[in-house]
Amino acid sequence: MEKLARYIIRASFSQEWMTYLRGESKVLRDIRDTVLHKTPEGREIIRLYYEWSPAIVEPMEEDEVFKEQMKEVIDGVLELIREIE
Domain boundaries along the sequence of the chain: 2-80
Query: What is the reported pLDDT for 40?
Result: 96
pLDDT digits (tens, 9 = 90+) for 12-71: 555 555 565 566 677 788 888 998 999 999 999 999 988 888 888 778 778 889 888 888
Q: Do 46 and 53 contact (CB within 8 A), yes or no? A: no
Predicted TM-score (pTM) of the model is 0.59
Query: What is the reported pLDDT for 9?
Result: 60
CA 11 to chain centre: 11
